[in-house]
Amino acid sequence: MTYLLASHTVVCRLYAPLHGLSRACVALCTCLAIISCGGGNKQSNTSINTALPSDTSFDSLARCSTVDSIPAGQHMVTSWRTAPTDALITHPITALTVRQFFAPHWDGEVMRLQLSNRYSSLPVTLENIHIAKEVAPGAPELIPDSECLLTVGGENRITIPAGGSVVTDAIAYPIRAFERVGISFYAPAITLQITRHLGADEILYMSLPGDHSADPSGTLFQAVPDGYASNFLAIEALEVAAAKKVTTLVAVGDSITDGSGSTTEFLSGEPARMTSTDQRYPNHLQRRIHEAGLPISVANAGIGGNELLNDGWLPQFGVAMLDRLDYDVLAITGATHVLAMIGTNDFGNPKPGAAPSPEDMIAGYIELIEDIHRAGMKITLGTIPPAEGAVTDSMPLIGDLPIGIDVMHGTAEARASRDTVNLWIRTQELSDGIVDFDACLEDPENPGYLAAEYNSGDNLHPSPEGYAAMAECVNLDLFRTPDNAY
């Protein structure tokens, strides 16, 4: 029996509008843009071993060739993913090429790419989307002759409708875990809005005018300042064909899941230590899973500033987790398990009214658990990490502009609410397991604070060492099943 691959899937959705955003903020977000113009030309097509035994090989397929079907013994799983956040602070681009990089988590000989226009109110047209292998982290160069053209329905020019997404045709292309790849695309027309993920911890590159999507050289590309534009643009997921026993674990949460560096590094305008080095806790968790020999790929659905119950104070903080669950978790290809850690921003971010009570949060966790179970998936809850000392009045939000945000995660009220919720998480029996991130990261000499070696410097976000410690806290037996044993 053979399963057909989606060769040119277009998904149109209507998403709930973001709430609580003033017209002034929209205007500010819209005017913060980088605009580039020029002409272009059309281009043509020219680690860690996670491979599993299979009764069918793709070795006979020419690299870059379209794959119409896969055998019954395999299915598509998510090798890499990010969660779109907004399209308000964006990058109008015209007749130039965008290049961005990331590290897949699972091997495959066949891949396809999902692109999102979820939050834009306008269609987006892209041409000559290419995948290629990165020469070295933190540089725009690609390995020569490693590129392949990605098409949708055989066409190299695609238009993603407002609120929709597309999946490229599956092609024969070797994906290897943590062998980083670059995605380049040309924007032929004025692109006023493009859906993004804020806080990619990657360097975004834009070219001089022209279509340079298939050019492995980096000489025509300029890095967009890290503190302003560490974003993923349009790309949402990379999926690979894998053995049926391979599944996807979705790590969902806020900036701590997303892998944000410290606020100080972000505002400095200099690349943080984590930029392009894959030090997020889901990356470290994937490395542990590989070492344990488990057929599980970890997908990162974290969004900085995200909350469980309410939409983010700013649009780039995303809609409430309970409201984005369907498309950021339940719809992820191959997903069977969820690891959710959320809540610090519910208590610490600015609110038009009072912060939710612990009882409100617990009711939200119960709803989250029930939604996951209703979808036939298992969920593990993580406790909220320490945040004592994370109190700042009017922290600059955008460079030197007189716009501030109060960081109140370390107030006595937030600490009391966090402790109450964490106690409930530790003692409840509704979820399929727990991970005590709070205990793993806490300074034993200073309860409520991040341990010094795990503190990025802002008393809220872990350091790269802290993210590695988070991964070590996870009991991998939570994700073992009779079906995924080798």
Q: In which band, very low, low, confident or very high, does the pLDDT at 47 lie, cut at 50, 70 and 90? A: very low
**Region of poorest pLDDT, from 161-175, 302-316, 385-399, 417-431:** 385-399
pLDDT for position 433: 98
**Which residues have C-beta within 8 Å of that of residue 404, sequence separation ≥ 6?**
393, 394, 395, 396, 397
Q: What average pLDDT is seen over the chain?
A: 84
Q: Domain boundary at 211, 236, 261, which?
A: 236
pLDDT for position 3: 36
Domain that residue 317 falls in = 245-484
Number of domains within the chain: 2
Does residue 228 sit in the same domain as residue 206? yes
Does residue 153 sit in the same domain as residue 299? no
Q: Domain boundary at 236, 253, 284, which?
A: 236
pLDDT for position 34: 31
Q: In which band, very low, low, confident or very high, does the pLDDT at 483 lie, cut at 50, 70 and 90? A: confident
As a whole number of angstroms, the distance between CA 118 and CA 454 comes to: 35
As a whole number of angstroms, the distance between CA 71 and CA 430 comes to: 37
List pLDDT tens digits, range 266-311: 434 454 555 678 999 999 999 999 999 999 999 999 999 999 999 9
Q: In which band, very low, low, confident or very high, does the pLDDT at 473 lie, cut at 50, 70 and 90? A: very high
Q: Indicate if the pLDDT at residue 10 is higher than 70.
A: no
The continuous run of DSSP H or E covering 265 comes out as helix 263-268
Does residue 260 sit in the same domain as residue 201? no
Does residue 348 sit in the same domain as residue 208? no
Structure tokens at 479: 């994700």
pTM over 0.75: yes
CA dihedral 341, 342, 345, 351 (to 10 degrees): 180
**Region of poorest pLDDT, from 200-209, 402-411, 440-449, 473-482:** 402-411
Examine residue 24 and state whether it is found in any structural domain, yes or no. no
Average pLDDT estimate for 431-460? 95
List pLDDT tens digits, range 183-230: 999 999 989 889 999 988 888 999 999 999 999 999 999 998 765 667
- CA dihedral sign of residues 388, 392, 398, 404: positive
Does residue 274 sit in the same domain as residue 323? yes
Whether 248 and 75 have beta carbons less than 8 Å apart is answered as no
Does residue 354 sit in the same domain as residue 407? yes
Q: Domain boundary at 218, 236, 254, which?
A: 236
Provide the β-strand partners of residue 382. Answer: 435
Q: Indicate if the pLDDT at residue 8 is higher than 90.
A: no
Please state, in angstroms and as integers, the Cα–Cα distance from residue 370 to each residue in 43, 64, 330, 403, 432, following that order.
49, 42, 12, 39, 11
Please state, in angstroms and as integers, the Cα–Cα distance from residue 403 to each residue in 25, 239, 400, 430, following that order.
10, 40, 8, 42
Examine residue 272 and state whether it is found in any structural domain, yes or no. yes
Residue 451 has phi, psi (to 5 degrees) of: -60, 145
List pLDDT tens digits, range 74-116: 999 999 999 999 998 666 789 999 999 999 999 999 999 999 9
138 torsion bin: left (phi>0), alpha (psi -120 to 50), beta (else) = left
285 versus 43: the higher-pLDDT residue is 285
Q: In which band, very low, low, confident or very high, does the pLDDT at 352 lie, cut at 50, 70 and 90? A: confident
| Cα angle: 379, vertex 13, 70; to 5 degrees | 65
Does residue 96 sit in the same domain as residue 177? yes
Examine residue 21 and state whether it is found in any structural domain, yes or no. no
Q: Indicate if the pLDDT at residue 7 is higher than 80.
A: no
Average pLDDT estimate for 458-472? 93
Question: Cα–chain-centroid distance for residue 131?
Answer: 18
Does residue 269 sit in the same domain as residue 413? yes
Structure tokens at 412: 């006595």
